[in-house]
Amino acid sequence: MSAPTARPVRGTRDLFGEVLRRHRRVVETARSLALRYAFAEIETPILEFTDLFARSLGEGSDVVSKEMYSFTDRGGDSITLRPEGTAAVVRAAMAGSLLQLRPLKLFYHGPMFRYERPQKGRLRQFHQVGVEVLGAAEPAADVECILMGRHLLEELGLGEAVVLELNSLGNLESRRRYREVLVSYLRRREGELSPESRVRLQRNPLRVLDSKDAGDRRVVAEAPRLTDHLDEESRRFFEEVCDRLDSLGVAYRINPHLVRGLDYYTHTAFEFTTDRLGAQGAVLAGGRYDGLMAALGGPDLPGIGWAAGVERLAMLLSEAPPAPRPLAVIPVGEEAEGEAWRLAQELRRAGFVVDLAYRGRAGQRMKRADRLGCRFALSLGGDELARGTVRLRDLDSGEEREIARDELADTLLGLGAERR
């Protein structure tokens, strides 16, 4: 158990059984929803050049400076296991001819990697589902993204478990101006800030706004407000997002301290949070990033999107999807073995879920069927072979009856036997 080869890498885990089914439920629900919103699915490689993330997330960000799984490959390139999805999706859109049709609406899912201390709802290999809308400058795109996020959480039965927080960072110009005002204010009161926030002041001043430190909060409470520094365009943009959400009946709370630290984030920032996951409150979060594509050397096109943590959502599901309940085919005696296999194949071709044990007496196989959670057992021995029938046993009720082979499939369908 403690031998290194018998245990998974810290912060990773094997997905199986109930945990995997919860995981699948989240991903499948998100995919099906994205398709309903006419988003196209994209899968990008897990490996990217390190430079992609250094440029998109910023050299000074925690993720880039200390959380990436980076290595030099045999050809001498610096490669990184992706820590998030947006940069890769934007890169892919730029690299292909995807951006001819705008706006481009994309859905993705997959594993992400960050070298952090594992915690409840936080793993080193974790999974995200996400969407990006590229090439749309209209507030309508922000609204559709938020609507989709809300819709996904509702489909997962989590509508009551989350609240939506919303803010606007304004356009690039407003944001830059506000940043200067904020920095000069914080500098004056630097002595009152926590050591962490003094570091933030250098690297990422906006992040001081959402510090949890009590002393920081006092300073922040009197800080100049971002909303007071939005220019006319930015204000109108935010108003339109809010108005449309209101008219669609989407509840939200404006949180002026909800920020994104990176330079290319603009306008809308939002987060769906829960109080049911301990320290990890954010389950689905995103925002507008009008400066990103240009920062990556592509055309200067706007973008907006969100990502959701699959593990976090999976943990919040009130119940796990049930495992399939197979049919057990049970030969009685050696002479029925061949016919049992033919029957099993016939049923599998018809779509039924069928288990056939490799060995054991009828009783042992019946026990296996029970342990596997089978709903029905189909047994056949010399008598049934002679009559062209099988014995159909309902393992929940214990009732057993004899059915003609040519009526079997219809009977099973009528009883609701599971098909895949």
- Tell me which residues touch RNA (CB under 7 A): 1-2, 7, 10-11, 61-63, 67, 84, 114, 116-123, 126, 128, 196, 200, 207, 211-213, 261, 271, 278-285, 307-309, 311-312, 330, 332-333, 360-364, 366-367, 369-371, 377, 379-384, 391, 393-398, 400
Cβ–Cβ under 8 Å, residues 382 and 390: no
Nearer to RNA (CB atom), residue 41 or residue 370: 370
Nearer to RNA (CB atom), residue 86 or residue 171: 86
Q: How far apart are the first and last CA of the chain?
A: 36
Nearer to RNA (CB atom), residue 282 or residue 353: 282
Cβ–Cβ under 8 Å, residues 288 and 302: yes
Helices 17-36 and 139-155 sit at what angle, rounded to 10 degrees?
A: 140
Shortest distance, position 49 Cβ to RNA, whole Å: 20
Nearer to RNA (CB atom), residue 125 or residue 231: 125
Shortest distance, position 318 Cβ to RNA, whole Å: 18
Residues 6+ apart with CB under 8 A from 238: 168, 170, 230, 267, 268
Rg (CA), the chain: 28
Residues 6+ apart with CB under 8 A from 23: 15, 127, 310, 311, 314
| Residue where the block lists tokens 């689905």 | 284
Shortest distance, position 62 Cβ to RNA, whole Å: 4
Shortest distance, position 154 Cβ to RNA, whole Å: 17
C-alpha dist (Å) from residue 230 to 83, 210, 246, 330: 31, 19, 21, 73
Nearer to RNA (CB atom), residue 114 or residue 257: 114
Shortest distance, position 287 Cβ to RNA, whole Å: 9
Shortest distance, position 231 Cβ to RNA, whole Å: 25
Nearer to RNA (CB atom), residue 76 or residue 398: 398
Please count the other Cβ atoms lying within 10 Å of the Cβ belonging to residue 395.
19
Nearer to RNA (CB atom), residue 384 or residue 418: 384
| Residue where the block lists tokens 């044990």 | 357
Nearer to RNA (CB atom), residue 300 or residue 402: 402
| Residue where the block lists tokens 């974790």 | 126
Edge-first strand order for the sheet with 47-49 is 47-49, 78-81, 69-72
Amino acid at 81: L
Shortest distance, position 236 Cβ to RNA, whole Å: 26
Shortest distance, position 272 Cβ to RNA, whole Å: 8
d(CA 260, CA 291): 13
Backbone angles phi, psi at 38, to 5 degrees: 65, 35
Backbone angles phi, psi at 269, to 5 degrees: -130, 135
d(CA 95, CA 99): 9
Nearer to RNA (CB atom), residue 174 or residue 273: 273
d(CA 80, CA 70): 4
Shortest distance, position 304 Cβ to RNA, whole Å: 13
